[in-house]
């Protein structure tokens, strides 16, 4: 055993020195025969052309589905486009890179000037938001491969209680905040790491994620689009942007006769029912409530900001450099080198100065401290606004798609007798 350890250490030391000098221990042979040294074989990279092809297909699909939703209002066409997206962006392109994940590339690029962001990531991030700004979430309807796989299997959707929707609807905001924090600190892309469906698209991956994906898909038969509604961080952005969209899909195009036929057509509970006339009068208490919530929101922001910042150390622990620095601080200097973890061996053999590592780790931890305050504050703001929104009363005398939550899937339109 002792021998083995020594032997490993020897290899370690030697391998370091080898790569430092890149000198040849054994000279290149001089062949007498006519043997020629073969060339080193490596494989090609997929030409950049395919990236641009992807962008073109993406923009084309997005345009076509938007036209189909806004002008044709055809559920059938939307369905077939989502099948296409699932096959192309999902199974053919392995679901990567997707707009949901691209928000991390963008956050990383905004905070790391040295990071060269792929053009695909920029366009995949911006185009769906741009379309949503004018036409609603047509991207979600059938371009997003994650959305498509869930939409197709939503066979027996049940209606969820509003409080469930509100409470679980907060998760995507937290997820978004965490994803941005980790990407902005250059730590990790957690959306990619926990993408539940990408393993299906690739036919390989970790069994844990496979399991989560499987559970989501089975749930998705009854609770339509569970990932979209209760996890998707990009969906948060689309939801907010969609609220000010210009020409959102509407069920009756303003000619609703309150026949109630579409009332339960939406698998996502995204149809807002008419409020009725009584509630129109009963409006006074609400104003008061709203003012109260307006006052407690800043308090909430401070409280959650403070609470989350308490955990900045734990959050920062995901970062490789922070972890390494902590390990370096705690290692026993006299311990046998061969038993040290790989990352410490690698660090020691790299010849880097440990003080620099500590300094770098400290600055990352500080960024996490600031970031966790912002993340906490953001969560508090979302809580506050959610509470306040519950009290806002908006009079409706017709059945309307909820511009934020509606995925523009066009399922409700065929129920409407007004064409």
Interacting residues toward ligand SF4 by CB under 6 A: 100, 140, 144, 146-147, 227-228, 232, 234-235, 238, 249, 265-266, 268, 270-271, 401, 406-412
* CB nearer to another protein: pick between 309 and 405: 405
Euclidean distance between CA atoms 367 and 179, whole angstroms: 15
Q: Whole-number minimum distance, CB 52 to another protein, in Å?
A: 7
**Nearer to ligand SF4 (CB atom), residue 320 or residue 366:** 320
Question: Quick one: what does residue 42 bind among another protein, ligand SF4, none, with the CB cut-off 5 to 8 Å set by partner type?
Answer: another protein
Length of the chain: 419
Least distance (Å) between residue 144 CB and ligand SF4? 3
In whole angstroms, the minimum distance from the beta carbon of 23 to ligand SF4 comes to: 21
- In whole angstroms, what is the distance from residue 146 CA to residue 95 CA? 8
CB of 380 to another protein, least distance (A): 22
Give DSSP secondary structure letters for 8-27: HHHHHHHHHHHHHH---SSP
Q: Which of 316, 152, 165 is nearest to 220 (CA)?
A: 152
Residue 305 corresponds to which tokens in the numbers above? 């900001």
Q: Is the Cβ of residue 104 or residue 408 nearer to ligand SF4 in the bound state? A: 408
| C-beta of residue 141 within 8 angstroms of C-beta of residue 69 | yes
The residue whose Cβ lies closest to ligand SF4 is: 147
Residue 40 binding: pick among ligand SF4, another protein, none (C-beta 5-8 Å cut-off by kind): another protein
* Distances from the Cα of 128 to the Cα of 58, 135, 184, 234, 250, angstroms: 10, 10, 22, 10, 19
Measured from the CB of residue 2, what is the shortest distance to ligand SF4 in angstroms?
26
Q: Is the peptide bond before 321 cis (omega within 30 degrees of 0)?
A: no
Query: 146 touches which of another protein, ligand SF4, none (CB within 5 to 8 A by kind)?
Result: ligand SF4
Task: Determine contact, residues 174/187, Cβ cutoff 8 Å.
Answer: no
Report, in Å, the least distance between residue 230 CB and another protein.
22
Residue number with CB closer to another protein (54 or 269): 54
Q: What letter would DSSP give residue 237?
A: H
- Kindly state the DSSP code that residue 91 receives in the 8-state scheme: I
365 or 406, CB closer to ligand SF4?
A: 406
The listed partner (ligand SF4, another protein, none) that binds 407, CB under 5 to 8 Å by sort, is ligand SF4
Binding partner selected for residue 104 from another protein, ligand SF4, none, CB under the kind-specific 5 to 8 Å limit: another protein
Cis upstream peptide for 97 (omega within 30°): yes
């Amino acid at each position: 055993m002792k021998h083995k350890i020594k032997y490993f250490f020897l290899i370690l030391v030697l391998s370091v020195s080898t790569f430092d000098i890149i000198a040849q221990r054994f000279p290149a042979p001089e062949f007498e025969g006519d043997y020629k040294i073969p060339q080193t074989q490596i494989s090609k990279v997929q030409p950049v052309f395919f990236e641009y092809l992807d962008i073109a297909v993406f923009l084309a699909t997005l345009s076509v589905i938007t036209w189909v939703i806004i002008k044709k209002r055809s559920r059938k066409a939307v369905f077939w486009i989502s099948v296409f997206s699932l096959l192309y962006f999902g199974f053919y392109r392995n679901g990567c890179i997707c707009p949901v994940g691209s928000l991390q590339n963008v956050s990383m690029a905004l905070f790391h000037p040295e990071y060269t962001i792929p053009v695909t990531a920029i366009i995949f991030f911006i185009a769906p938001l741009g379309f949503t700004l004018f036409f609603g979430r047509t991207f979600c309807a059938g371009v997003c491969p994650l959305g498509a796989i869930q939409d197709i299997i939503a066979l027996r959707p049940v209606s969820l209680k509003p409080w469930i929707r509100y409470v679980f609807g907060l998760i995507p905001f937290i997820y978004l905040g965490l994803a941005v924090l980790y990407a902005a600190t250059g730590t990790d892309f957690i959306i990619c790491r926990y993408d539940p469906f990408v393993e299906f698209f690739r036919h390989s991956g970790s069994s844990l994620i496979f399991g989560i994906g499987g559970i989501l898909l089975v749930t998705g038969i009854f609770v339509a689009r569970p990932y979209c509604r209760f996890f998707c961080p990009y969906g948060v952005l689309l939801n907010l942007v969609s609220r000010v969209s210009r020409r959102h899909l509407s069920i009756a195009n303003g000619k609703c006769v309150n026949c109630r036929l579409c009332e339960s057509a939406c698998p996502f509970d995204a149809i807002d029912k008419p409020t009725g006339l009584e509630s129109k009068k009963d409006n006074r208490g609400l104003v008061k409530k709203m003012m109260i919530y307006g006052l407690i929101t800043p308090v909430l922001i401070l409280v959650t900001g403070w609470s989350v910042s308490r955990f900045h150390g734990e959050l920062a622990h995901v970062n490789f450099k922070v972890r390494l620095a902590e390990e370096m601080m705690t290692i026993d200097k006299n311990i046998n080198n061969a038993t040290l973890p790989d990352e410490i061996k690698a660090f020691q053999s790299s010849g880097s100065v440990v003080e620099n590592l500590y300094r770098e780790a400290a600055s990352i931890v500080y960024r996490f401290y600031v970031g966790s305050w912002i993340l906490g504050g953001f969560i508090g703001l979302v809580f506050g606004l959610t509470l306040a929104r519950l009290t806002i009363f908006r009079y409706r005398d017709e059945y309307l798609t909820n511009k934020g939550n509606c995925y523009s899937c066009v399922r409700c339109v065929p129920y409407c007798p007004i064409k």
